[in-house]
Amino acid sequence: MKKRILLIAVLLLGLLPLTACQSSGNHGESITIVGSTALQPLVEAAGEQYGSEHFGKFINVQGGGSGTGLSQIQEGAVAIGNSDVYAEEKSGINEKKLVDHRVAVVGITPVINKQVKVKNLSFAQLKAIFTGQVTNWREVGGPNLPIVIVNRSQGSGTRVTFEKWVLRGAPAKQAQEQESTGMVRQIVATTPGAISYMAFSYVDKTIATVNVAGVAPTVKNVTTNRWQIWSYEHMYTKGQPKGLTKDFIAYIFSNKIQEKMLPKLGYIPVSRMQIQRDLNGKVTPVN
């Protein structure tokens, strides 16, 4: 029995040096990136590719949401914090210490269940739907079907962007919320009369998109700002990036990622944007 106690003690003690040894020694280099689930697929894919090209360097990418990304980078607990929204838009963040890297653009489109044969909605109609003034598709030129709103969870970047450009400050109707775009898509596809919104890249054959004020949700319309519901994807660092962090951000901005990988995953390279938009929504042409 003594032996067993000894064994247990050894095992427990054995765990301690493991924790101490992580930072020392040349056993490879790694950084951790946390945050936005919308940006996660891109960073994950880029990180994998970076790791395979640079031996011994590892990029760990975690989701957790934009809020987690911003608070973790503020604490300095991670190398990069991903966010769908400007740091200024979140309360409790001191944006002065953070450096913004806008790595991509994401267009967001309203999506509806296929049975609702509505092709076009005006901004006013969209707003009326999501604030609860309109509750039947009949009122906006569709079939006689009650409208079922599916929201993303409060504070999610997609929802913040959508509400910023569609509701413009009006309070949204309380409706069911889903944590992730995958669930939203599944629910919209199977629930008659459902409406929601998601990034272009998630749209597939099971659901239908809607034109807003006569403009179709296409990449081209986003680059000219004719399609207004879009947002930058941000990678925040605390202070100017150094070392592996700097290399990796440079890698994200390289042609290999921007021109080849982004379009394949449904993001829009910042370089294609003919305009730029600041925090307050002011649009200026790119010279």
Partner 1 sequence: MDPIRESLLKKSHQAKLERRGRLLGLFCISLIVVVVAAIFYFVASRGLATFYHDKINLWDFLTKQAWNPGTKDSHGIPEVGALPMIVGSFLVTIFAALVATPFAIGAAIFMTEISPRRGMQILKPVTELLVGIPSVVYGFIGLTVVVPVIRYLFGGTGFGILAGTFVLFVMILPTVTSMSVDALRAVPRHYREASLALGATRWQTIYKVVLRSSLPGLLTAIVFGMARAFGEALAVQMVIGNAALLPHNLVSPASTLTSILTMGIGNTIMGSLENNALWSLALILLLMSLVFNLLIRLIGRKGALKP
Partner 2 sequence: MKVKRQDKVATVILYLIAGTIILVLASLLAFILIQGLPHVTWHFLTTPARSFEAGGGIGIQLFNSFYLLVLAMVISVPLSLGAGIYLSEYAKKNWLTSLIRTAIEILSSLPSVVVGLFGFLIFVIQFKFGFSILSGALVLTVFNLPLLTRNVEESLASISSMQREAGLALGLSRWETVTRIIVPEALPGITTGMILGAGRVFGEAAALIYTAGQSAPALDFTNWNPFYIASPLNPLRPAETLAVHIWKINSEGIMPDAVAVSAGASAVLIIAVLVFNLSARWFGQHLYQKMTGSGKKGA
Give the footprint of partner 2 on this chain (CB under 8 A): 1, 8, 11-12, 15, 18-19, 21-22, 25, 27-30, 32, 34, 37, 40-41, 44-45, 48, 51-52, 56, 58, 60-64, 75, 77, 179-183, 185-186, 201-202, 265
Helix H or strand E segment including 71: helix 66-75
HEC letters along 170-181: CCCCCCEEECCH
Residues 73-102 that bind partner 1 (CB under 8 A): 74-75, 90-93
**Parallel, antiparallel, or unpaired for β 230-238 and 98-112?**
antiparallel
What minimum distance in Å lies between the beta carbon of 218 and partner 1?
28
Nearer to partner 2, 179 or 259 (CB): 179
Locate 121 and state its tokens: 């909605």
Closest separation in Å from C-beta 144 to partner 2: 30
- Compare residues 77 and 286 and give the one whose CB is closer to partner 1: 77
Q: Which run of H or E residues covers position 33?
A: strand 29-35
- The footprint of partner 1 on this chain (CB under 8 A) covers a number of residues equal to 36
Which of the ranges 61-69, 123-131, 202-210, 214-222 carries the binding residues for partner 1, by CB under 8 A?
61-69
Q: Is 1 exposed, middle or buried (0-12, 13-18, 19+ CB in 10 A)?
A: exposed
Q: Which does 221 bind (CB under 5 to 8 A by kind): partner 1, partner 2, none?
A: none
**Exposed (0-12), middle (13-18) or buried (19+): which is 209, by Cβ within 10 Å?**
middle
User: What letter represents residue 209's amino acid?
Assistant: T
Question: Which residues, in sequence order, are bridge partners of residue 106?
Answer: 231
| Residues in 108-167 at the binding interface with partner 1, rule: CB under 8 A | 148, 153-157
Of 189 and 244, nearer to partner 1 (C-beta) is: 189
In the region spanning residues 178 to 217, those forming contacts with partner 1, defined by CB under 8 A, are: 178-179, 183, 186-187, 190-191, 194
DSSP 76-121: T-SSEEEESS-GGGSTT--GGGEEEEEEEEEEEEEEE-TTS---EE
Please state the closest distance from residue 29 (CB atom) to partner 2, in A.
8
Give me the residues that bind partner 1 (CB under 8 A), please: 2, 5, 37, 63-68, 70-71, 74-75, 90-93, 148, 153-157, 171, 174-179, 183, 186-187, 190-191, 194
